[in-house]
Amino acid sequence: MGSDAIELAAGQYRAIIGRKGATLQRLTWCGGDLIWGGDSDSTGEGAEGVGAFQGRLMAPWPNRVDKGRYTFEGTEYQLEITDPERGTAIHGLVHSRLWTPHDITPTHVRLTYDLDGEPGYPFPLELAVDYRIHPASGLSVLATARNVGSTSAPYGFGAHPYLTVGVPLDEATLHLPARLRLPVDERLLPTGPPQNVAGTEYDFRAPRRIGETVFDTAFTGLRPGIEGRSWTVLAGPDHGVGLWADSSCGWLQVYSADGLPGPAHRSALAVEPMTCPPNALATGRGLRVLGPGDRSEARFGIRMMAPTLG
C-alpha cells in the first residue's frame, strides 16, 4: 500500500484507494480478496506503465478510440496514441493523474481531479469519485463529471476492476445478464451493431462455468434486477463476487486477462462498467454531450455474494 493510499472499512469489508488514478487498489471481505488490484505505481503490461489498469477510472472516454481521431460539432481532434500496437487511444486521460482526496471518513472518501483541457480533448471538466463502504452492501462508487467550459463537451466514463474468487477463470462460474455483445475486429474496434448472444459461447444469462471462453468483449442489453441494477456474478467453490451497475452504465467490457503474462493470465475477470461502447468518441454511440454546466453520473458497486447467488 502506497503512502498516499486511503483505507476504508465497515463490517468485514476493507478497501484501499490510491490517489494516483483514484485507483481501487484492494477490496477484501473477511481478509479475502474480492478484486485483483494493484498499487498506484504498478507497472507491467498496458499503456503508460499502469499495469493491467487494475481498479483504474477511465474518463473522459473508456476503452479505445480508433487512430485517436474523432469529430465533434464539426471539428476534428487527434488524441495521443497510447496503444501503439493497435493504433488506438485507450482508457482516457486521468488513470495516471494524481487526484485530490476530500471528506475522508472511516467509510467514505471523495477524490477530485480538474481536467483543464488538453491537446486532442480541449474540454475542461471537474471530475469526482465517491467511494463508500457499507457493512452489508459492500463497496459503492459514484463517479461524476461537470462541464466547466463555455462549449459542449463529449464524455464517457468507465471503471476497470478485476473480480477474483481465488481459482482460475476456467474453473469459475459466471452469470452475465447481457443480451447483446459487440462484434469487434483484430484491433478490438466495433465492426457492426450489437448481436444477440443466444446460442453463442457468450451467453451467460444463466450461470455456467467459464471453461475456455475468451473475453475481450463489450456487452449491452443488460437485464436490470432489484433497484434497477444489473448484477454480474463470478463464483468459485467458496464464494462469489458480484458487480452491479445501474442504468447509468449501459455497457460492460468483460476481459478474461488472456493477454496478461505469468500468474495474471486468466486469473481474474475484468468487468468494466461503461457509459458507452468502444470508439464512442468517433461513432457517437452512447456518447454523452455535456452542455456548459451539465453534470454526468455513473454508479456501480462490488460485494461478496454466496456462490449460489446470481
pLDDT in tens, 163-194: 999 999 999 999 999 999 999 999 999 999 99
Residue 52 has pLDDT above 70, yes or no: yes
For residues 74 and 207, give the distance between their C-alpha atoms in angstroms, rounded to a whole number: 45
Per-residue cell: 81: 496514441
CA angle, residues 35, 39, 40, in degrees to nearest 5: 125
Confidence of residue 17 (pLDDT cuts 50, 70, 90): very high
Cα atoms found within 13 Å of the Cα of residue 177, Cβ hemisphere only: 20
Per-residue cell: 222: 443488460
Three-state SS string across 17-46, please? Answer: EECECCEEEEEEECCEECECCCCCCCCCCC
**Spatial CA neighbour of 61 closest among 231, 255, 259, 253:** 253
Report DSSP state, residue 224. Answer: P
For residues 92 and 74, give the distance between their C-alpha atoms in angstroms, rounded to a whole number: 21
For residues 143 and 233, give the distance between their C-alpha atoms in angstroms, rounded to a whole number: 22
For residue 90, count other CB atoms closer than 10 A to its CB: 24
Q: What share of the chain is helix, strand, coil (3-state, %, to 5)?
A: 5, 45, 50
For residues 135 and 302, give the distance between their C-alpha atoms in angstroms, rounded to a whole number: 12
pTM of the model: 0.94
For residues 136 and 231, give the distance between their C-alpha atoms in angstroms, rounded to a whole number: 16
Residue 1 has pLDDT above 70, yes or no: no
Q: Are 14 and 7 in contact (CB under 8 A)?
A: yes
pLDDT tens digits for 212-268? Answer: 999 999 999 999 988 899 999 999 999 999 999 999 999 999 999 998 999 999 999
Q: Are 25 and 241 in contact (CB under 8 A)?
A: no
Alpha helices of the chain — where are they, by DSSP H?
A: 280-283
Cα atoms found within 13 Å of the Cα of residue 238, Cβ hemisphere only: 9
Residue 59: which H helix or E strand, with range? none
The length of the chain is: 310
The average confidence (pLDDT) of the chain is 93
Residue 45 has pLDDT above 80, yes or no: no
